[in-house]
Amino acid sequence: MNEREKNFPALLERLTPECQRIIAQYEQGRSALLPIMHLFQEHEGYVSAEAMNAAAEMLSLTPAEVEATVSFYTLLYRRPVGKYMLQVCRGLACSINGAEDIMAYFRERLGIGHVQTTDDGVFSYEEVECLAACDRASCMQVNLDFVYSLTPHAIDEMLASIRSGTYSTPPMAQIEAPGRTWAISQESEIAGGKRSSGAVGVPQPNNAGGVGDRSGIIMLDHIINHDVEFFTKTSERAVVDSRAVVEVAQEEGSHARH
Ligand code: FES
């Protein structure tokens, strides 16, 4: 048991009255889950397994229900992260306004990539979906505070002022040294018995949805080959060589054009 785990019962005791106050604000207990998780993250720097279990108990939820919610949001971290979480928007409005260049600049200045933390544990960097501030693109959040109209010069100033301890947004709690990434690999989730229902037959399922990922390729295969009752058959088979599917798609596309 590490120091943080040893100290968790005392933290839980200290935060319980605040948790009860939060729970009392809602008609349904489960509505208090996100604010409670934010409260623990504020104190521990991330949402630990102990915090999730404690929340499950307080709200009469299963640990799996809590984890399913926590893992959905990029605002909650399930592993220790840097003292400054830099989340750059890569949504459409920001992309049109130069987000690609901004992201490349961040990666170069920090020497890390997407969902990575610098070796000194100061910065974590992530490229996220639309932050709902499209009218002020390109934008980002620094420890959840918005920063707008990003330029290389503004980024240099921001990083320098964070390093010198003069930045307006305070650092996050960090009671455990972060690793290189806080992302949780899908392999470890599968090893833990979790698996999405759409991933049957796929050894390394990606997040389903995009045509660029493996699930998207499988879906494409179903559509092109017309060999599956799409809405009635639930099990999927893996495409061994996705290039073949793409070639068929291109061929069909060229037939359709002529
Ligand atoms: S696309 Fe960046 S805030 Fe919406």
| Residues 97, 60 share a domain | no
- Kindly state whether residues 66 and 88 are assigned to the same domain: no
More confident residue, 204 or 141: 141
The two three-digit tokens of residue 209, written as one number: 């949805």
Helix, coil or strand: residue 145: strand
What are the helix and strand counts (H, E) for the chain?
A: 10, 5
User: Does 212 fall in a domain?
Assistant: yes
Beta carbon of 131 within 6 Å of any ligand 1 atom: yes
Residue 59 lies in a domain: yes
Task: In whole angstroms, give the CA distance from residue 55 to residue 94.
Answer: 36
φ, ψ at 77 (rounded to 5°): -115, 130
pLDDT digits 0-9 by tens, 11-27: 999 999 999 999 999 99
Report the pLDDT value the prediction gives residue 238, as an integer from 0 to 100: 42
Structure confidence at residue 223 (pLDDT): 57
Report how many domains make up the chain: 3
As a whole number, the mean pLDDT across the chain is 82
- In a domain, residue 181? The reply is no
Say if ligand 1 is within 6 A of residue 92 CB: yes
- Dihedral angle, C-alpha 34, 144, 174, 157, nearest 10 °: 180
Query: Tens of pLDDT along 36-72?
Result: 999 999 999 999 999 999 999 999 999 999 999 998 8
Distance 193 CA to ligand 1 centre (A): 35
| Mutational pocket test of ligand 1: of 94, 126, 135, the residue with most ligand atoms within 8 Å of the beta carbon | 94
Distance of alpha carbon 77 from the chain centroid: 7
Give 3's pLDDT tier (boundaries 50, 70, 90): confident
Does residue 154 share a domain with residue 88?
yes
Please check whether residue 101 lies inside any domain of the structure.
yes
- Residue 188 in tokens: 């470890």
Say if 179 falls within a structural domain.
no
Q: What is the DSSP letter of 129?
A: S
The tokens describing 136, both together, are 């002020």
pLDDT value for 2:
84
Cα of 99 from ligand 1 centre, angstroms: 9
Reported as a single tens digit per residue, the pLDDT across 162-187 is: 999 999 999 999 999 999 999 887 55
- Whole-model pTM over 0.75: no
Domain boundary among 48, 70, 92: 70
pLDDT in tens, 128-166: 999 999 999 899 999 999 999 899 999 999 999 999 999
Say which CATH number the domain at 24 has.
1.10.10
Residue-number span of the structural domain to which 59 is assigned? 3-70
- How far apart CA 110 and CA 142 sit, in angstroms, is 14
* 91 in the same domain as 62: no
Residue 244 has pLDDT above 50, yes or no: yes
Q: What are the distances in angstroms from CA 215 to CA 48, 199, 256?
A: 30, 8, 25
What ranges make up the beta strands (E) of 49-156? 84-89, 116-117, 123-128, 140-142, 145-147
CA of 128 to the centre of ligand 1 (A): 9
Q: What is the largest CA-CA distance in the chain?
A: 72
Q: Is residue 99 included in any domain, yes or no?
A: yes
Check residue 89 and report its DSSP letter.
E
- Whether 245 is in the pocket of ligand 1, judged by its Cβ within 6 Å, is no
With 0-12 / 13-18 / 19 or more C-beta atoms within 10 angstroms meaning exposed / middle / buried, residue 36 is buried
Task: Report helix, strand or coil for 83.
Answer: coil
